[in-house]
A and B are shown apart, each in its own frame.
Chain A
Amino acid sequence: MSELHRKTALVIGAGSLGGPAALALASAGDFRIVLVDAATVESADLAGQPIFVEADLGQPRGAAAARRLARLFPRLEVVASARGFDEGSAGELVHSADVVVDASSHFLTMFLANDAASAGGKALAHGGLLNLTVQLLTVVPGLTGCLRCLFEGPPPPGPDAGVLGPLAGLAGSLLGAEAVRLLEGRPGAYSGRLLVHEARSGRSRSVPVRRRPGCPACGAIPGGGVPPSGKGS
């Protein structure tokens, strides 16, 4: 039994980011994946969610994703949590995980995942997408800044933004690969550095994410910081 087998990745969201992230995680080894997604598979999901097939339409997303993973990777232990990721379940779900993968498309859930991971002392791999821009960040409690250090809080609600399905898939694949690095005990590629990749130009930027004094999520956690190194093209 490998070291990975004893470790658990909590994947929040089984959609356009979470599906590829879970597939990338599953491809990498025999370990435990807990999927949390209370929505059902809709037609629009199949424009960019390779974990689902036409036959999954109308099915609960978490359960459908778990079925597909189990079929492709029978040795994998996959659990589809029947509970959504909310204030009542977040602490318990995070507690059971070694790494938290935030693949949610909802801002409130993103910040809830950030807060719960910080409180639980668990590394968080976060992915986001807007139109043709991808962003990835890894939060290591006590070492790096967190989502609230960077953005303070969720933005006000706005109109639905577009998503190019395969670009979400790229973010999800990178997110899954990052989770594997963290599960293997390697440094995260995005620890303390927000990757911002714009697809049309192909350019990437690195935004250092330092701990912010007084941050309501991670400000009370003792520890120093890692100096983020600049990357980008």
Chain B
Amino acid sequence: MSVADAEGARFARQRLVPALGPEGQQLFRDARIHVVGAGAVAGPALLHLAQAGVGTIFVDDGADVDGAVDGDAGSWLYSPDQVGQPRLLAAIAALRAASAFVRVRACATDAEPTATLVCAQREPVARLAAERARLAGLPHVVALGDGDGGAVVTIPSGAPCLRCALQPGARVTPRPGASAAIGTLAAVELLLVVARLLPGDGAGRRIDLVEGWPRVRPTARTPGCDCRNVH
């Protein structure tokens, strides 16, 4: 079987999605996604992006695998014998094992991503990563877990920034099932951006997941925020 045939068989069901089709699958293949974080929220997102046919993933994480009960067990990427190893290397190995159709690299200065997914565990890190993506003109999606749910903010190029969409606040570590749902929802949102399937012309939105129920709302620019001018 040729590589093209193998790829066709792998993604046949996705290409049947009417709004997606072969064109959308090709957009996935052409995408180069910078993923910030490789913990409990990022892990399921990374796996889904890799298996959905994203062409290149740049993993960006500086922590080691955490063996705590509320640590990295929910990431779906690491086994207990990997505790203490760099998450970056362990995540790259796990993603390469999950799909033969994705290139996975550590994020370096010459990465040149086409979009960014921010799943950092610490909110200040997430905000910094989102701001960098905005200043680079990259569409980005930010996932922030919180207890039994969390929020996912989708920011196509030119949309209101993360600061406009979501005020800093006290958030608690997401429960394992909730962290997976938030990370996966963020991966879905990013793929909709990549495949140009989001409604509206460059409009941003925020989806709050509260006890299993997603609630969407459009984002709006905060008066005085400089994200209108600095882009």
Contact = CB atoms under 8 A, between A and B. Distances in A.
Contacts of A164: 14, 17, 20, 52, 188, 191
B194 to A, nearest CB: 11
B19 A200 contact: yes
A103 B38 CA distance: 27
Given A177-B178, A178-B212, A44 B52 contact: no
Interface stretch (B93-101, B104-112, B164-172): B93-101
Contacts of B48: 48, 50, 165-166, 169
B177 A74 contact: no
A204 B213 contact: yes
A180 B76 CA distance: 17
B207 interface: yes
A50 B44 contact: yes
Interface in A194-233: 195, 197, 199-204, 206, 231-233
Interface string B7-48: 001111111111110000000000000000000100010011
A50 B95 CA distance: 10
Contacts of A200: 19, 192, 197-199
B73 A231 contact: no
A74 B178 CA distance: 21
A209 B190 CA distance: 32
Interface stretch (A19-27, A115-123, A147-155): A19-27
B79 to A, nearest CB: 5
Nearest to B180: A173
B191 A160 contact: no
A54 to B, nearest CB: 5
B10 A170 contact: no
Contact of B176 (A28, A49, A169, A170): A28
Contacts of B214: 197, 202, 204, 233
Interface residues of B, number: 57
Contact of B188 (A47, A53, A166): A166
B49 interface: yes
Interface in B146-189: 148, 175-181, 184-185, 187-188
A26 B175 CA distance: 12
B216 interface: yes
A82 to B, nearest CB: 25
A49 B187 CA distance: 14
A105 to B, nearest CB: 10
B17 A131 contact: yes
Contact of B213 (A24, A73, A132, A189): A189
A43 B98 CA distance: 11
B78 A72 contact: yes
A20 B180 contact: yes
B49 A166 contact: yes
Contacts of A190: 212
A79 interface: no
A122 B216 CA distance: 33
Q: Which of A166, A178, A189, A195 has the most CB of B within 10 A?
A: A166
Contacts of B175: 28, 177, 180
B114 interface: no
Nearest to A206: B213
Nearest 7 CB-CB pairings of A with B? A177-B177, A162-B16, A27-B176, A162-B17, A202-B216, A189-B212, A166-B48
Interface of A: 20, 23-25, 27-28, 43-44, 46-50, 52-55, 71-74, 131-132, 136, 160-167, 169-170, 173-174, 176-178, 180-181, 189-190, 195, 197, 199-204, 206, 231-233
13 contacts: A20-B180, A23-B44, A44-B10, A160-B16, A161-B16, A163-B13, A163-B14, A165-B52, A166-B188, A174-B212, A200-B192, A200-B199, A203-B216
Given A44-B12, A165-B52, A174-B212, 11 more contacts: A20-B184, A24-B176, A47-B14, A73-B73, A163-B13, A164-B20, A166-B52, A204-B214, A204-B215, A232-B215, A233-B217
